[in-house]
Amino acid sequence: MRRLMLAIALTLGLSGCSDITWTQTSAGQLKGKLVIEWINQDEFLFIPDPAQPLTFTRANNEVIVPAAMYTDGGSIPVALRAVKSYSPWGYAPAFVVHDWLFTIKQCKLQGHEKLTLDDAATVLAEVLKTVMENPKYGGPNKLVHYSMYEAVRSTVAKDYWENGKCTTLPKARPATRSAAPQAESDRARSGVNPASGPARRIEMTF
């Protein structure tokens, strides 16, 4: 999430609040296909699927549909990446929806006037809980949920929210690199992590 997760390490000592945050967070509904394409080191492109767009519906019925944008997944501190639950792509839908809210704010897209940093943190928490409640994705992890929520409310996140630059998309989508294009397609569809494996594209359907 564009270096915002650097604050995670500062919140891990506050795990006593994790139960409260988890209980107060409303899960929503996640549908559609998530498509991520690798461009360069720590640089990826989220590509909306025209037939099955990634869609998060909040408990209050607000619908969030991310458009094409650059993303780096969760900007997890290197020291925490060895922990499975803190993978930069461990909760990819939450990171993509979160990055989209920041893109709306920084690029002054429709509705940016109404968005606040607390909104971004709350929505992140909601998508995280929605994903975590599905046993397929590891089940609930209240400490991770709480630490990521607090990281987005940190002073680091606030500075990026207020001063981050709008990153525009290229007119032509960059071609991904592959030593074996045919085999790569099969690997990508199997869900190989593009940050650690040979795949240059991942697709997940919810």
pLDDT greater at residue 170 or residue 185 = 170
175: buried, middle or exposed (CB in 10 Å: 19+, 13-18, 0-12)? exposed
Average pLDDT over residues 61-82: 76
> Euclidean distance between the first and final Cα of the chain, in Å?
21
Share of the chain above pLDDT 90, in %: 48
Q: What is the pLDDT of residue 14?
A: 52
- Report whether pLDDT(150) > 80: yes
Task: Count Cα neighbours of 95 within 13 Å in the Cβ-side half-sphere.
Answer: 25
Binned at pLDDT 50, 70 and 90, residue 167 comes out as confident
Domain layout of the chain by residue ranges:
4-205
pLDDT greater at residue 178 or residue 132 = 132
Q: What is the pLDDT of residue 138?
A: 82
Proportion of the chain in helix, strand, coil states, percent, rounded to 5: 45, 15, 40
Residue 57, phi then psi, degrees to nearest 5: -105, 120
Q: What is the pLDDT of residue 83?
A: 55
Of 27-36, 67-76, 137-146, where does the model show the most confidence?
27-36
Report how far apart, in Å, the C-alpha atoms of 96 and of each of 18, 64, 83 are: 23, 11, 20
